[in-house]
Amino acid sequence: MGLLSPLGTGREAFWRGLLNDQGITSITLFETTDLMCSKAAEIASFHIKDYLSQRGLKHLSRSAQFTCAASSLALQDASIDLSGEDPTGIGVVLGTAFGNVNSMVAFDKEGWVEGPRFVNPMMFPNTVVNSPAGYTSVFFGISGLNVTLSNGRSSGLEALHYAAECLRRGEAQIILAGGYEELSWLVHLGFIRAHEIAGSQGDGIDMPKPMDRSRTGFVLGEGAVVLIVERLEHAKGRGAPILAELAGFGRAYGPLRPGSRDIHRKAQMRAMGQAIQSSGLEPKDIDSISLSANGSIEGDRLEALAVGEVFGDLAEEIPVTAIKSKIGECFGASGVFQTASAVLSMQHQLVPGISNFDASDPDCPLGSLSAQHRPYECGTTLVNAFEVGHNNASLVVKRHADG
């Protein structure tokens, strides 16, 4: 796993951050004085040279830099020596929602200010959504399949599924699969105007409180997370440390409009049901749930209801966490950060508490919501990445004997 997150870089810092809750702060990356909401989970200090030594890095967008850094971390963590591998057998599959927005704004604005004949041509590639994946393949010499997916909040889990299917079909031996997002002033303002950011409805609560009675919305997060995904035989064959298994996946689309609650709840139930079923399990076999919940008033409620329907009485007790309370809503990276957190949670046999959770909402009837970390023996985690206006995706992650 390669983790570049608002909680820290690398597995240990990420895990410590999940427990110590340092991700969301006042935004320093851009000016927020005139804005209603000024909190986000940002990566305040980042230098690409700490991760890569190649030349030509300065033209990369923040998204591309994050992605290359996380890829480098992942390759190291998996003990992969690229010189010993066939590059055409290594693929890259990444998800993002807003990865190119800042680059588009910067490039087009420069065109207006300086005139089209004087824009910096080196900035042009950053405007296309797939350039971070492209840069990753160029800098690491990885020439297998290379795909970028944009499916909103479920992009990351969709990327993991895409990668798993490609591996099953023998299209690649190793895939760098993950997601990324960079903090964007325009996206932040866009969500404020859509009244989705915590505090954007003027009620003063500007921290995200997933599943809490007084939640007002989410905050944005940024970062990149890359997982090295391989077929079991291949991993064993090269003596790789195996952290976990991608055991099952499910998805179901929920429309943006018209959006009845019923349709969304059913879609979320289908996604979870399919994921559990495709892993050969039943709801009772799931030890914990990593919720998609980010503090959104309606979104959290829909998920709670859907989980309740899928798990029935089990929903009273099954430990759940909502790490977007700590890393914010990282869109394309969210589902994969959640997957990484699930893997670490299963390694440490501890489910992180939900930050800022004070009081439960009667409309979100889940039994085991808590701000406290709970020791728990978990071997399987259900990870949810739900989205209104796109696929709802769920993934079952199983602890591996070595992990």
Partner 1 sequence: MKDRVVITGLGVISPIGNTTACFWDSLLTGRSGAAPITSFDTTHFKNKIGCEVKNFDSDRFQESRSGRYGRASQMAIAASEMALSDAGLNVDASTRTDIGVSMGTTIGESQAIEKVIQNWHETGVPHFDDTFIFQCSPNIISTNVADTFGLLGPNFMIPTACAAGNYAIGYAFDTIQEGAAQAILAGGAEAFSRIAFMGFCRTFAMSADVCRPFDKNRTGILLGEGAGIVLLERLEHALKRGAKIYAEVLGYGLTSDAYHITAPHPEGDGAARVMAKALRKTGLSPEDVDYINAHGTGTQHNDKAESAAIKKVFGDGAYTIPVSSIKALTGHAMGSASAIEAVACILSIDGNTIPPTWNYEQPDPECDLDYVPNEPREAEVNIVMNNSYAFGGNDASVVFGKFRN
Scored b (16 or more CB within 10 A) or e, 288-310 reads: bbbbbbbbbbebbbbbbbbbbeb
Q: Which of 3, 129, 219, 235 binds partner 1 (CB under 8 A)?
A: 129
Query: Which residue's CB is nearer to partner 1, number 187 or number 228?
Result: 187
Least separation in angstroms between CB 214 and partner 1: 23
List residues bridging with 25 in a β-sheet. 40
Query: Which residue's CB is nearer to partner 1, number 121 or number 362?
Result: 121
- Check binding of 71 to partner 1 (CB under 8 A): no
Q: Where are the beta strands (DSSP E) in 78-119?
A: 90-95
> Which tokens is 353 given?
């508490």
Q: Please report, as residue ranges, which positions from 274 to 313 form the binding site for partner 1 (by CB under 8 A).
A: none
- Check binding of 191 to partner 1 (CB under 8 A): yes
- Check binding of 359 to partner 1 (CB under 8 A): no
Q: What is the DSSP string of 183-227?
A: --HHHHHHHHHTT-BTTTTSSS--S--TTBTT---B-EE-EEEEE
- Check binding of 141 to partner 1 (CB under 8 A): yes
What are the strands of the beta sheet with 390-399, ordered from one edge?
244-254, 390-399, 380-385, 288-290, 320-321
Question: What binding mask, one character per residue, do residues 327-356 give for partner 1 by CB under 8 A, x or -?
Answer: ----x-------------------------
Residue ranges of alpha helices (H) inside 222-368 are: 232-237, 261-278, 297-311, 324-327, 334-348
Q: For residues 36 and 323, is the Cβ–Cβ distance under 8 A?
A: no
Q: What is the DSSP string of 113-133?
A: HH-GGGS-GGGGGGGSTTHHH
- Check binding of 193 to partner 1 (CB under 8 A): yes
- Check binding of 194 to partner 1 (CB under 8 A): yes
- Check binding of 65 to partner 1 (CB under 8 A): no
- Check binding of 82 to partner 1 (CB under 8 A): no
> Which residue has tokens 């992942």?
74
- Check binding of 152 to partner 1 (CB under 8 A): yes
3-class secondary structure, 392: strand
Query: Which residue's CB is nearer to partner 1, number 109 or number 284?
Result: 109
Stretch that binds partner 1, among 105-113, 290-298, 314-322, 378-386 (CB under 8 A): 105-113
- Check binding of 187 to partner 1 (CB under 8 A): yes
Q: Which of 25, 32, 76, 127 binds partner 1 (CB under 8 A)?
A: 127
List residues bridging with 228 in a β-sheet. 176
- Check binding of 162 to partner 1 (CB under 8 A): yes
3-class secondary structure, 56: coil
Least separation in angstroms between CB 263 and partner 1: 8
Q: Which of 63, 71, 146, 292 binds partner 1 (CB under 8 A)?
A: 146
Query: Which residue's CB is nearer to partner 1, number 51 or number 107?
Result: 107
- Check binding of 92 to partner 1 (CB under 8 A): yes
Query: Which residue's CB is nearer to partner 1, number 193 or number 213?
Result: 193
Asked whether the bond before 258 is cis by omega within 30 degrees of 0, the reply is yes
Give the integer Cα–Cα distance in Å for 208 and 313. 27
Query: Which residue's CB is nearer to partner 1, number 47 or number 257?
Result: 257
Q: Please report, as residue ranges, which positions from 232 to 261 form the binding site for partner 1 (by CB under 8 A).
A: 251-258
